[in-house]
Chains A and B, each alone.
Chain A
Amino acid sequence: MLTKEEVLKLAKLSRIALSEAEVEKFQKDLDTVLGYVDELKKVNTDGLEEVNQVTGLVNVQRDDKAVMADNHEEIFAQAPEIKDGYFKVKAIL
């Protein structure tokens, strides 16, 4: 089973604050999930490439063309805080 410290490290990497009770719960849950997938180790995959996509498309591109957007106001209307036409964040320095 993952230690509490390991779960807390994952939470840190995931940017999610966890309560004490959640840490214990996810220790168990992750153990269940990782136990479930353990059987994959039995499959011989020597010499196989991993799959990155399934339909075989190659180099899909579009014209590099600027398009005017008409929804600036709607975009900023969704932001919790804006200032002078910018998204506002906490001071980082």
Chain B
Amino acid sequence: MESEFLELTELRKKLDNKEVSSVELTKYFLSRIKELDKNYNSFVTVTEEEALKNAKEADDFINSPGENPFLCGIPYASKDLFCTRGIRTTASSKILDGYKPPYDATVTKKLKEQKSVLLGKTNLDEFAHGSSTETSAYGASKNPWDNTRIPGGSSGGSTAAVAAGLTPWATATETGGSIRQPASLCGLSGWKPTYGRVSRYGIIAMASSLDSPGAVANSVEDLAHLAEIMSGRDEKDSTTGDIAVPPYAKNLSADMKGLRIGVPKEYFIDGMEDGVKQRVTEAIKEYEKMGAEIQEVSLPYTKYGSLVYAIVCPSEVASNLMRYDGIRYGHVTSDGGNLLEVYEKSRAEGFGDEAKRRILTGTYVLSAGYYDAYYKKAQKVRSLIIKEFEDVFKKVDILACPSSPNVAIKLGHAKDNPLFGYIADQLNIPGSLAGLPALSVPCGFGLPSDGQTPSMHPHPADAGHPLPKGEGNNVGSMPSFGLPVGLQIIGPQWGEQVVFNAGFAYQQVTDWHKKHPALA
């Protein structure tokens, strides 16, 4: 059976027609995980026993009369940030190493109601702090296109697993780029929802004003189906909007005639790789051929996005991570003392460098005397970024631009650079700050420059953090044609449908989303 890269719509047909059973599919993916994941480290936990049990139940359901839910019997993997009742959930942090949540995230619950089959939990940057998975306490995940390179992050375990055909799709989350950037680097379709479209209940919090749970899959059509299932108002998350969830998949339209596409010039930054620029420019030409109206637009505040994020995100992180105290759950020090020492030692032992760095940064910018200069200032600049997007969406229906300034870089460049995450996600963060929906779709391949991720803000302090020497022409097992490039499509708030339509239309005229790595 060659079904590792089948789209969900195809798997649904095969299951409904009894060409394959859920147990067979589940065993197939479990065996691939066993055989191949040693090369990619995409899973933190594999739930073989539960998966086989759930697959059996799904088969019983399929074999009884009546219609099957879209995901019934289809295996999936979940980013290890989604609480799964009774199943270890770590956030890729030592502080939650043995944690078994006593409840399900709303998304987990919805997927259970569909009778999906959970294969396991995927790796991420610790608490989703990062863009390479290298801050994970369980080791970095590797990019299936070249396993000497990062898969991106923080949802890099999810994207590595889907790209290697270890699962048909995976849940993911974004705070500032954590779906679009790894989807781009691994050559997948990734959906970052409108803030409040998908419930955050039961998803381990990073920055609550930004966190947006979404998905990565092999096509935009799959994502439209998943969005229908995952979205909606949730009483348990008061930031979810009471806005009807349209039948996104049924509504998909590839008619691009007259669609107004804005190309923001600030997203083509100095130092961007030529391959990325060329592939994205070619993708935009495809839209022109399909009858869309292309116009250059300007979003001058783009360059401040990552700076605002570098204040707002650590502030919310510092607040959210205060709950890990070693009392109710999570790691507790064995090196006791009084109550304060238990807190201080448990947290010192449980958190990794990046989490500590963000907690300390957040505590600093929120503290008396600095709050106005940093946090308040950042939230004011954020209002300018939001306003700028509101204005541009009066002129255009969607924006098209690169998802990342570069293809996947080598492992090891990100680890000791305190700015890596902010720079890697500079083309995703402005949209996140405004709560906008977006996609990354594969649009071809580009050769890596194998330098540092170029920044809009070269800062003298960067010099204090020398990066490991580049490996010159050693390009590992990279294919000769290069590595995946992602086209980013951004829409207005609640504008999922137009974003999905644009991604779907592109995948009707190109087959980049059907390219898969040749695995070892």
Which A residues fall within an 8 A CB radius of B? 2, 7, 10-11, 13-18, 22, 25-26, 28-37, 39-41, 43, 45, 48-55, 57, 60-62, 71, 74-75, 77-81, 87, 89-92
Contacts and interface: CB of A to CB of B under 8 A. Distances in A.
Given A49-B383, A55-B239, A57-B241, A39 B457 contact: yes
Contact of A92 (B336, B339, B380, B465): B339
B419 A32 contact: yes
Given A50-B376, A55-B196, A79-B327, A36 B310 contact: yes
Contacts of A61: 238
Nearest to B326: A80
B344 A26 contact: no
A39 B307 CA distance: 8
Contacts of A7: 360
The 6 A-B residue pairs with the shortest CB-CB distance in the complex, in nearest-first order = A50-B379, A74-B102, A54-B435, A78-B329, A45-B380, A80-B332
A32 to B, nearest CB: 4
B328 interface: yes
A29 B493 CA distance: 35
Contacts of B239: 53, 55, 57, 60
Contacts of B516: none
A26 B356 contact: yes
Interface string B175-198: 000000000000000000011100
Contact of B329 (A13, A57, A79, A92): A79
B418 A10 contact: no
A37 B307 contact: yes
A48 B381 CA distance: 8
A29 B337 CA distance: 30
B461 A60 contact: no
Given A33-B361, A49-B380, 19 more contacts: A2-B364, A13-B367, A17-B348, A28-B464, A32-B464, A32-B465, A34-B364, A35-B460, A36-B419, A37-B311, A39-B457, A41-B377, A43-B304, A45-B380, A45-B384, A51-B379, A51-B386, A71-B85, A90-B338
21 contacts: A2-B364, A14-B318, A15-B322, A16-B360, A30-B360, A32-B462, A36-B419, A36-B457, A36-B461, A40-B308, A45-B377, A48-B380, A51-B380, A54-B433, A54-B434, A54-B493, A57-B196, A57-B241, A60-B239, A62-B235, A74-B85
Interface in B348-406: 348, 351, 353, 356-357, 359-361, 363-364, 367, 373-374, 376-384, 386
B467 interface: no
B338 to A, nearest CB: 6
Interface of B: 85-86, 99-100, 102-103, 194-196, 209, 235, 238-239, 241, 301, 304, 307-308, 310-311, 314, 318, 322, 325-330, 332, 336-345, 347-348, 351, 353, 356-357, 359-361, 363-364, 367, 373-374, 376-384, 386, 418-419, 422, 433-435, 457, 459-462, 464-465, 493
A50 B379 CA distance: 5
A78 B328 contact: yes
Contacts of A30: 357, 360-361, 364
Contact of B102 (A16, A22, A57, A71): A71
B141 to A, nearest CB: 24
A43 B102 CA distance: 46
Given A41-B377, A43-B304, A16 B356 contact: yes
A29 B357 contact: yes
Given A33-B361, A79-B328, A80-B327, A18 B348 contact: yes
Contact of A60 (B238, B328, B434, B493): B238
B419 A13 contact: no
Given A15-B322, A28-B464, A79-B329, A36 B307 contact: yes
Contacts of B422: 36
A15 B386 contact: no
B294 to A, nearest CB: 28
A52 to B, nearest CB: 7
A37 B377 CA distance: 11
B4 to A, nearest CB: 35
Given A29-B418, A74-B86, A14 B345 contact: no
Contacts of A28: 464
